[in-house]
Amino acid sequence: MRQRGFSETALRRMLFAFHGIRPTDDPARWAVDAALDSRPWRVILEPDLGSRVVVVITAYPLEQRP
């Protein structure tokens, strides 16, 4: 997380106030559209049904279009 410039707390804020979720090309993963400091981010999640948790695979900022 440090390499991408956000903390666990920031990630939790992004997931709490997300504004879109959709399946990815991998049927086991979901893409969450969120924002951090008014910039768009995408968070990739993978539910672990056996453990009843959601694993964060990655999170990255999206390029803003002019």
More confident residue, 63 or 11: 11
Condensed to tens digits (0 to 9), the pLDDT of residues 14-48 reads 999 899 999 999 999 999 999 998 899 999 999 99
Q: In which residue are the tokens 């879109």 written?
A: 20
Contact (CB, 8 A) for 54 and 47? yes
Provide the pLDDT for residue 5.
73
Which pLDDT belongs to residue 54?
94
The pTM for the full model equals 0.84
SS3 35: strand
